[in-house]
Structure 1
Amino acid sequence: MSLATALAGFVVDASLGSWLGAMAFFSFVAAPTTFRVLDDDAGRVVNAIFPTYYVVGVALGALAVVAWAALGALSAAPSLGVPAMALVGVLCHAYARWALVPKMEAAGDDAFATYHKQSVGLNGVAILAVTLALLAAQF
């Protein structure tokens, strides 16, 4: 295995692993703790974090796809499972950032429950997709 191949594989694993870790931490630790500690003021904190959270996901997913393409160019053609699943996650985060967040901001508190359900669903799909991409990258 060449150094370039090893580096490309490392970038794929690191970007997908970082993305999965960030999603898990925010979803299961940071957001629930913020709501428990700050109560009604937590929404402002979480709403301030969400746009960056989604952009970071898009960037890490794009980095994984580019590194996977480089890996394919450097070695035998790898499976399409990794970029396909990473792109599912990217699409979930991109839609949430550039379509759902503006809708939530425009609707205010009235439609929070509806948009929150959509956000949780998209996040769940992204977590599953990135998990599958990371697993596929190991084979």
Structure 2
Amino acid sequence: MSIDELLGVDTGDPKQRLAIELVREDHEMLKELVALREQLKASQQEIGELMGISQSAVARIERGERDPRLSTLRRYAHAVGALIEHRVIPIAELKLRWEPKDLSGPVGRGYQLPDRQDLTEAWTGSAKRGRR
């Protein structure tokens, strides 16, 4: 039995896959921000001072114990000299593009999103069809 089955996650349900992907994306973004801080050899205290929050608040964000607002993540990114990009991809654009992978892995790893080139082509084609 996989972890998905134990948790009652239906990886065949596009909405559940989307929810898992959103969480995975958040975790990846946070990992990248922390990696930048570490590359800069900046302490949590220094980042906190630049953000206007305490060192312990930075630690809680980095450990995933808090669900920070977008503005807080932007302040963190600013403190480490990074830009956070946001994108909106309608689920209809993703529904048919998820490809099954090995579902025995951790939650969120049972499918794959299309790469940027595939989405660009899909959007371009969709935009042209929509205008006719």
Would you tell me which structure has more helix in proportion to its own residues? 1
Report the structure number with the largest CA radius of gyration: 2
- Where relative contact order (Cα < 8 A, 6+ residues apart) is larger, the structure is 1
TM-score by length of structure 1 reads 0.29
